[in-house]
Structure 1
Amino acid sequence: MLELAVLADDLTGGMIIASKLEAAGVACPLVTSVDELLALPGDPTAVVLARKIRLVAPAQARLEAAAAAAAFAKRGARTIFYKYSALFESTDQGNIGPIAEALLTATGAKRTLFCPAYIDRGLTMYQGHIFIGSTLMSETAKRFDPMTPSTTSDVVAKLRRQTAWRVALADHQMLTADAQAIAAALEAQPEVPFWVMDAIDDADVAKIAAVTRDWRLVTGADSLPPAIIEDRRAGAPREAGSGRRLLSGAPGREAVIAGSCGMATMAQLEAFSERHPVWRIDLARDAETAGLVDNIAAWAADRLQDGPVAIATTADPAGVAAAQAAFGREGASERADRILGEVAVRLRRLGVGKFVIAGGETSGQVLKALDVGRLEVAAYDDLFGGYCHAPGPNPTSFVLKPGGLGDQQFLFNALHRLREAERHSAEG
């Protein structure tokens, strides 16, 4: 039985969930389309469908969610889990609220909860507010995010801007009761379909998993899905093939593609540039330049034989502001992803078989451009769940990284893992 069917609103977020489920002992493939989901062989316990729906128009997001729910139903899914960022990344228009509405309607469920907790990364929920460590999210650098600035840490307030449905808070005091009492308290208010729920530690998350054991729809971030699987499997043995550190290897050259403007990615690119060549695309200056992708491909062709290269639209706040002034917020993002997707195709033709990609939206665009529909996923570890492999006539391996994660050595560590997998495969 398909115990848990996950709809992720971007690729890197979906990868993290798949890898955490792998680490929990469940083989969890990741697919990027409804067609691939329906064609998936066997009867997996869990599956992740990752779609680039975080920043699309709300109407499109609703359609995507309804299509995903219908496909999950055909696969016999017991529970749908809608996965979004632990930072509750969205605009005031959506799409967390609109997608949740569509999924609740499609499943016929009476209620769902929202718990964007990622406990092992220090992201918690208390009194309906997101904390990063001991700091309210709205007081961190996340408030300067170019696409989804966090002007508030109050999840109830933010969700109410995205939906006309009633939203209420299940605070930490409620979690002092047992799971049965919590479920009864929620059921006692049938007029409330949306509940924002606190969680400050793993014990809270485990209790929420127990509360939702028979629910058709649950929403949240990274901590809940493995807890749900662990609650339902109750000590069952690990599934064959789950939890691998090394996947099949991919021959060929190596490249880094960076679309994230996160501070971590900027530092990683700076470290990478001290040892390897980097082409930095200035969107405000270069996005409309004729032959840009041809020029990048020619530059890369001259250098790939000597080692990895990087191509990046990553920029500091001034560069982001200039690009958005030229093309608008969404226009700048769309141009960056389109260019990087085209670059990825050209790099693949140049023999690149190993990619490290920084940025969730960028990762989705690159895999779409490369026509990657299904991925094997390794267990969650120091690569933050992003290590995956696309088998086939032209096998390709990836490490997909959310923009804000990783130390300065991350790009080197990711490439090392991909090389290690290639050597391991060659040795049989």
Structure 2
Amino acid sequence: MRLGAIADDVTGACDLAGRVAEAGLPTTVLLPAPPAPGHPSPTTEHHEDVFAGGDDASACAVVALKVRTAPVGQAVDEATAAAQLLLDAGASLLYQKYCSTFDSTPAGNIGPIADALVALAGADGTVGTPATPGARRTQYEGILFADGVPLAESPMRDHPLTPMRDSSVVRLLAAQTAAPVSLVPWEAVQRGAAEVASAIGAGHTLVDALTEGDLDVIAAAILSAPRPVVAAGGAGVGTALARAAVAASGQRVDISRSQLPEVPVTGRLLLAGSASAATRAQTAAFAGERHTLDPLALATDDRALDRLRDALAARADHREPVLIGSAPEVARAQAELGAERAAALIEGALAELAAFAVHELGYSHLLVAGGETSGAVTARLGVQRLLVGQQVAPGVPWAVARSGEREIALLLKSGNFGGPGLFTDAWEVAP
């Protein structure tokens, strides 16, 4: 099986790729060049070798877009272009990767992208689930649970860009598409893959899942579906599809033994644009040097960003990790500037600091927290491909990439992922 996945942000792509690679399926993350003026879709010509042979062969390719909160038309255009790239390269199964907390407003992009992928692939619909038990995301009776509580009662309720005020993924998806949306309940999953496959309807089918075993049943149902389908969901179903492919081929690649290119340590930088509870806990637990990025200062003080550049340049030992994170009073900045402008100021500033650290100061290792921030950083660095390595935490792998003439190590994490000690522990297994 050649699994071709389209992810709606960079950290979601790394989440899927890290888990799939750990399951034993060689995986690459591709980052299209940003759209050129006058062109609606990202440039993908440099990714003709998606499933290249030889030492760089990958059975799974994940295209990392930055469309989770983009306008619907742009999101559909970019996802369609990415899917066409994967199909042209020989993908045998398309996978729509969205967040395990279904980050999307009623006017969001998950439904429109699903409709577009179905039409492009000539499929009858999508099948899957956001459930990713390894990240404590489960689905029962169509209700999505995050860390054991319904989504709308979790911290995602007050997400600044995609506040989740409904826990029913059936209702959430139905608001975004004219296609039918149906549910396969957990009891049917317990009766096996044949039962699930027979329950797949036209349009979009969401399936309950509480365990990894449930995901394996769903993967088997997708692979044996009586009609062509597009797989969809969080990283959980994609990982189960990888397990099925490895079991069918009898060939498993052990990424703990595979060697990413070694990146000599010349500088370690943490950039935290996420305001999630997990990232706040990781920031609080970090004992090293830190600096605060205030969007209100960025909006009113032309020297705010220069002072942070100067602080980085003045450091005596760049190899000691340093953290630059958004101000904790983000709600005040959002109230005064608007949520989108505040987020854009933070993302743009962190991306500029990443480029300064790498290309002016010679930093080699970057840990970036936040999906939108990771997308801004990789775009600014001109990263086109990530070679995925060992996970630091579930869904949080290190990767090696090229930025210009330099080879760098990147860890791009969802704001919600990882334990409190991640900002300290991650360096121990860095390439």
Query: TM over 0.5: same fold?
Result: yes
TM-superposed CA distance for 1:285, in Å, is 3.1
Distance in 1 of aligned mates of 2:150 and 2:166? 9
| Counterpart residue number, 1:104 | 118
Q: What's the counterpart of residue 30 of structure 2?
A: 31
Between 152-161 and 302-311, report the one with greater CA deviation. 302-311
Q: Answer yes or no: is the 8 Å Cα contact 1:359–1:403 preserved in 2.
A: yes
Q: 1:385 to 1:269 in 2, by over 3 A?
A: closer
Q: Which residues of 2 match residues 28-427 of structure 1 at below 5 A?
A: 28-33=27-32, 34-40=44-50, 41-42=52-53, 44-186=58-200, 189=201, 192-213=202-223, 215-239=228-252, 242-244=255-257, 247-251=260-264, 252-272=266-286, 274=287, 276-303=288-315, 305=317, 307-315=320-328, 319-348=329-358, 349-382=360-393, 384-391=395-402, 393-418=405-430, 421=431
Aligned partners of 1:253 and 1:308 also within 8 Å: yes
Counterpart residue number, 1:18: 17
Query: What is the letter of the counterpart of residue 56 of structure 1?
Result: A
Give the stretch that moved more between structures: 224-233 or 155-164: 224-233
Instruction: State how many pairs are aligned.
Output: 409
SS in 1 for 2:275: coil
Whole-Å separation in 2 of the counterparts to 1:176 and 1:309: 48
Check whether the contact 1:78–1:216 (CA below 8 A) recurs between aligned residues: no
Quick one: distance in 2 between partners of 1:322 and 1:405? 25
Flag structure 2 segments of 5+ consecutive residues without an equivalent: 33-43
| Structure 1 residue 267, shift from structure 2 partner | 2.1
Contact 1:22 1:243 in 2 (8 A): no
Task: After TM superposition, give the deviation of residue 286 of structure 1 in Å.
Answer: 2.8
Supply the AA of the counterpart residue of 1:278: R
Aligned to 1:3: 2
Contact kept in structure 1, 2:28 and 2:386, CA below 8 Å:
yes
- The alpha-carbon distance between structure 1 residues 163 and 222, as it changes in their structure 2 partners (threshold 3 A), is same
Classify the secondary structure of the residue corresponding to 1:120: helix
Would you say the 8 A contact 1:128–1:155 is kept in 2? yes
Tell which deviates more after alignment, 53-62 or 198-207: 198-207
Give, in angstroms, the shift of residue 67 of structure 1: 0.4
Alignment check: 8 A CA contact 2:127 2:229 kept: no
CA contact (8 A) 1:259 1:314 kept: no
Letter of the 1:368 counterpart: A
Instruction: Give the conservation status (yes or no) of the 8 Å contact 2:401–2:407.
Output: yes
Q: In structure 1, give the amino acid aligned to 2:429.
A: R
The worse-fitting range, judged by mean Cα deviation, of 125-134 and 98-107 is 125-134
Aligned letter for 2:235? D
CA distance in 1, matches of 2:429, 2:316: 19
CA contact (8 A) 1:179 1:210 kept: yes
CA contact (8 A) 2:271 2:366 kept: yes
SS of structure 1 residue aligned to 2:317: helix
CA distance in 1, matches of 2:395, 2:238: 16
Say which SS state the counterpart of residue 264 (structure 1) adopts.
helix
Contact 1:116-1:220 within 8 A present in 2 as well? yes
Task: Name the SS for the 1:287 alignment partner.
Answer: helix
Q: In 1, Cα distance between the equivalents of 2:103 and 2:424?
A: 28
Give, in angstroms, the shift of residue 144 of structure 1. 1.6
Deviation digits for residues 374-403 of structure 1, max 9, x if unmatched? 111113353643311115731100122211
* 1:121 shift after superposition: 2.2
Q: Mark the CA change 1:114 to 1:210 in structure 2 (over 3 Å): closer, same or farther.
A: closer
Misfit runs of 4+, over 6 Å: none
Q: CA deviation at 1:36?
A: 3.9
Contact 1:125–1:200 (CA under 8 A) maintained in structure 2: yes
Q: CA deviation at 1:50?
A: 0.8
CA 381–417 in structure 1, closer or farther in 2 if over 3 Å, else same: closer
Using the alignment, how far apart are the partners of 2:340 and 2:145 within structure 1?
Answer: 27
> Which letter maps to 2:26?
A
**Which sits farther off after the overlay, 82-91 or 372-381?**
372-381
How much does 1:206 deviate?
Answer: 1.0
The one-character-per-residue Cα deviations of 1:334-388 (angstroms, maximum 9, x if unpaired) are: 2211111111111112111111111111111111111111111113353643311
Per-residue deviation at 1:63? Answer: 0.2
Give the secondary-structure state (helix, strand or coil) at the position aligned to 1:62: helix
Is residue 392–residue 398 contact of structure 2 (8 Å, CA) maintained in 1? no
2:38 maps to none
* 1:61 Cα deviation from its structure 2 partner: 0.5
Structure 1 residues 388 and 314, CA gap change in structure 2 (3 angstroms) = farther
RMSD of Structure 2 on Structure 1 (CA): 2.0
Which runs of no fewer than 5 residues in structure 1 stay unpaired? Answer: 422-428
Give the superposition deviation at 1:84: 0.9
> What's the TM-score, normalizing by structure 2?
0.89
SS at match of 1:352: coil
**TM-score, L = length of structure 1:** 0.90
* Amino acid in the other structure paired with 2:353: V
Q: Do the aligned partners of 1:165 and 1:194 also contact (CA within 8 Å) in 2?
A: yes
Change (3 A) 1:237 1:287: farther
Residue type matched to 1:281 in 2?
L
Assess, with a 3 A threshold, how the Cα gap between structure 1 residues 229 and 415 changes in structure 2: closer, same or farther.
closer
For 1:417 and 1:21, locate their aligned partners in 2 and report how far apart those are by CA, in whole Å: 18
Counterparts in 2 of 1:177 and 1:408: CA distance versus 1, 3 Å: closer
- Post-superposition shift, 1:240? 5.3
